[in-house]
Amino acid sequence: METTKIDRLVEKDRKNLWHHISPYNEKNPPMVISEASGAWITDHNGNKYLDAMSGLWCVNVGYGREELAQAAYEQMKKMAYAPLTQSHEPAIQLAEKLNEMLDDEYVMFFSNSGSDANEAAFKIARQYHQQNGEHSRYKFISRYRAYHGSSFGALSATGQSLRKYKYEPLAQGFLHVRPPDSYRRPEGMSVEEFNLQRAQEFEETIIWEHKDTIAGIIMEPLITGGGIIIPHPVYMEKVQEICKKYGVLLIIDEVICGFGRTGKMFGHMQFNLKPDIITMAKGITSAYLPLSVTAVRKDIYETFKKGDGESHFRHVNTFGGNPAACALALKNLEIMEKENLVGRSEQLGERLKNELEELNKHPYVGDIRSLGFLMGIELVEDKLTKEPATAERVGKIIAECKQNGLIIGKNGDTVAGYNNILALSPPLSCTDEDVEFIISVLKKVFENNK
């Protein structure tokens, strides 16, 4: 693209576009992405980068899948839109397919985004308790450092103070407990002991707040955007046990962890959980079109079928379950199964983990955490004190990776002083050569920053 045209494009961007979660920077114009294929994106200057974040943790099958575009095109020609106040075949087929994948009985409520899916989950949980005569149950417990969305209810559940700052007060009834950050556990305490202690905080909070006021607990199988914090299995087992003990609904947020990211089809399958409600988005369409799901256990759904005229779920989403998005999602899931991308996620993640293990010796690497094709590298100023790395040090690593053709992420705008974890979430369709490129660039950049 000629220079004058590029300059005009950037100028129009500056004039008309407000970028997501990005501070204004006059000296550093945004990358204008012009095309993408596989794991690679190309900017308006012709520079190519391996996108090791899959966009925003979402392009699981990779870019440029013509069969996905074709599936949406064929559905749009046949019927572009139908609201789910009625029904349509792609939604019916997709709901059935998701139940097969979950190997359980759920009823699917379709929305547009992860935030929407979690908002629906909160309303369903509150109404469910109301219809069971437990009118005092309205509170939800989440975890500090967790992210559950940007709308008011989802943001209230989010445990990231920088995401909330200047938008409060938010919705009432959202409580938080400490995350199972095993890297920062007390000296002399085992990982298992620490995780059990952290899980116990849910029960303590339920008791302190009065057990009859708690509607649900919401959590990702592992905290992703808050720093790739992976629990020990005993933690998840204990939380599920606490939910059953007190009649609290367990809501599992699979927006990032779902659809193969962790090496299982859904992240909660790593921990043998049976959630009451499951929320999904991102990887369900590999972000080719907006779509999300709130999967509700069948017996919970049944309570909405009986009672007075206000017992039904009085919630609507104009674009939720769009026929083209559902048709595309079905094709996306077909690709995942045909190419065994869930198994591929586990294999590639294991390779990435083994090849980058040597970075643990780096003076500024405190901890490396991974599950499936998802990795967090926690940077510190001092390995002994575990003082979090400065924003400058984190930014320098990310910038140098980009200069070498690799896009990585970080847990930005979460908790002050703890935005020090580099994140990798590459497409599950990465080739062996793609993974080799990721490894080589990271090793080179860390070697240059000792």
Average pLDDT over residues 253-257: 98
- Tens-digit pLDDT profile for residues 72-116: 999 999 999 999 999 999 999 999 999 999 998 999 999 999 999
pLDDT of residue 334: 98
- Tens-digit pLDDT profile for residues 352-387: 999 999 999 999 999 999 999 999 999 999 999 999
Query: Does 13 or 263 have the greater pLDDT score?
Result: 263
Residue 3 has pLDDT above 80, yes or no: no
Percent of the chain with pLDDT over 90: 92
Average pLDDT over residues 384-393: 97
Average pLDDT over residues 269-292: 97
- Tens-digit pLDDT profile for residues 416-449: 999 999 999 999 999 999 999 999 999 999 999 9
pTM: 0.97
* Ranges for all domains in the chain classified under CATH 3.40.640.10: 66-338
Q: Which residues contact 450 (CB under 8 A, 6 or more apart)?
A: 362, 363, 364
- Tens-digit pLDDT profile for residues 292-345: 999 999 999 999 988 778 899 999 999 999 999 999 999 999 999 999 999 999
Average pLDDT over residues 37-61: 97
pLDDT of residue 309: 80
Asked whether the bond before 363 is cis by omega within 30 degrees of 0, the reply is no
Residue 1 has pLDDT above 70, yes or no: no
Please give the C-alpha separations between residue 378 and each of 199, 419, 422, in angstroms, as whole numbers. 23, 9, 6
* Ranges for all domains in the chain classified under CATH 3.90.1150.10: 3-61+340-447
CATH of 66-338, one of 2.60.40.10, 3.30.70.3270, 3.90.1150.10, 3.40.640.10: 3.40.640.10
Single-letter amino acid, residue 89: E
Contact 111, 320 (CB under 8 A): yes
- If you classify domain 3-61+340-447 with CATH, what class do you get? alpha beta
Residue 2 has pLDDT above 80, yes or no: no
